[in-house]
Amino acid sequence: MIFAEPSYHSRRSPVYATRGMVASSQPLASQAGLSILMAGGNAADAAVATAAVLNVTEPTSTGLGGDCFALFYEANTGGVTALNGSGRAPARLSLELLRKQGFDSSLPPFHPHTITVPGAAAGWCDLIQRHGTQPIGEVLAPAIRLAEEGFPVAPLTAYFWNRGAERQLRTQPGGEQLLINGRAPHAGEMFRNPGLAATMRAISEGGKEAYYQGAIADRIIDVVQGVGGVMTLDDLAAHESTWEEPISAVYDGFRIWECPPNGQGLAALLALNVLAQFELPANPLSAERLHLVIEALRIAFADTAWYVADPAFATIPLEELLSTFYAQKRAALIDPQKATLDQQRGQPVAGSDTVYFSVVDGDGNACSFINSNYMGFGTGIVPRGTGFSLQNRGHNFSLDPEHPNALAPGKRPYHTIIPALATREEDGSLYASFGVMGGFMQPQGHVQVVLGMVADGLNPQSALDSPRICLDAGTAGSTVLLEDGIPIEVMARLADMGHPVRPIVGHGRASFGRGQIITRDSQSGVLCGGSDPRADGMAVGF
């Protein structure tokens, strides 16, 4: 099938409402979340409903075989809580085992050893238990109906589904269960997933235990061990989500909140702290401003490549990393006229593919939520009759035994998926629930939409519409991808400054992520939402 390149020339207005809003990459998912809000549920309830429908309608990016993270803003208290719904490496998986099997530097991306325990099912249930108001069965009902009855596949989803069919599903065990006669569904074609409906129905009736114990767990272990993996039923039964203290930094009067490591939200905060040391040029697409943003991101990635790891296994000096003193030291490394491609991690102390969506309810509670398989369908391995593919998050482990992110039994890997929130520093009120999905693009997207809204005064839709840059590998020395819409002369100037650059158009613009933003006016309570034009989704409210 030939997929037409999207032109991205259409225009969207921001969406306004007062009683609740959902912004996601799939219209049916946004509508499902909104239906929960309209039925009296809150932001947490609607978030899980949205996540579940996204598993049905966009399995190219997310699902019950993957992980999730969430930030929840509680309107009554102004408090922010962070849910870490990521899984851990199997107890029998070690560097010694990998060396014996001939893996010295890296694992193939779709190898069964890259499968970490899926954390999404527990994350959904735990979010509802702590912050929700509705039974999990009611929250999952829209997704179960769509999985049983079928849904028409959206255009960009169809494109990425076809890519996943070619890369993973056709050759991996069980992958055919997510195809139609061996191929990906076309845009507008109906797709049913009765296996996923059965999985969600089991969770509705038995909670997270129905996933991590019993028939679903048996099927996960059967397929993983059948292809040479070492995960066991004990690994699944031992899984638990964790509630953690979120990290934050202030940029121009707004406190930006992120989940702590093992997530990479630290990169966004480090870059914003560095940029706060400069007076940014007013033109957001000028070479001078883009150069500062790129250099701040290079410095941030140099740090996070070392400091983002499982805090249960490594000491991470977060307070020092996020200090103004450290930001000033790191900012001093930027040459305003020349790129620096060999930035090294700093010493803050002596010696030392994815779906994102946002929900805000009428009371002002907000849930910033992200759920992912990684690399599209993850490994592409589908346990029999479950309707979901298993993630490959373990590919982000380092095989260097001296690295803080080195693979170890029971350890969580460096995680790319990150939700974000912003509050007003003057009174702690909610300003925005936002995120930009897409691997190592995510902290870069966070930085760019924050600058768009805070520095440039853009509404959520305009902030998402703006052309973006992306350090393609998420490293200090990465090539800079430049989105169509950045002037040619600016691209040339960045190249002259020493940045390796590559212009990107068409379907390649997926490299710049797909974001969702909802803001809230602290006086009127009016919500304003935007949905990324690089995806199939929309913001809806009532």
Asked if pLDDT for residue 10 goes beyond 70, the answer is no
What does the pLDDT read at residue 4?
Answer: 62
Contacts of 431 (CB under 8 A, 6+ apart): 254, 422, 423, 424, 519, 520, 522
What does the pLDDT read at residue 349?
Answer: 59
On average, the pLDDT of the chain sits at: 95
- In 3D space, the residue among 149, 144, 133 whose CA is nearest the CA of residue 36 turns out to be 133
Q: Where along the chain do its domains lie?
A: 19-91+113-242+355-362+373-389
421-465 residue pLDDT tens? 999 999 999 999 999 998 899 999 999 999 999 999 999 999 999
3 state DSSP class of 518: strand
Q: Are 374 and 60 in contact (CB under 8 A)?
A: no
CB atoms within 10 A of CB 320: 15
- In 3D space, the residue among 450, 508, 441 whose CA is nearest the CA of residue 475 turns out to be 441
Per-residue DSSP letter, 266: H
273-296 residue pLDDT tens? 999 999 999 999 999 999 999 999
Distance CA 195, CA 378 (A): 18
Catalytic residue status for 354 = yes
CB atoms within 10 A of CB 492: 12
Distance CA 16, CA 216 (A): 41
Asked if pLDDT for residue 2 goes beyond 70, the answer is no
313-344 residue pLDDT tens? 999 999 999 999 999 999 999 999 999 998 99
Amino acid at 223: V
Structure tokens at 357: 């969506």
Question: Counting Cβ atoms within 10 Å, is residue 157 exposed (0-12), middle (13-18) or buried (19+)?
Answer: buried
85-103 residue pLDDT tens? 999 999 999 999 999 999 9
235-279 residue pLDDT tens? 999 999 999 999 999 999 999 999 999 999 999 999 999 999 999
Structure tokens at 80: 């922010």
Per-residue DSSP letter, 506: G
3 state DSSP class of 200: helix
- Out of 81, 157, 304, 354, pick the active-site residue: 354
Mean per-residue pLDDT for 15-34?
A: 98
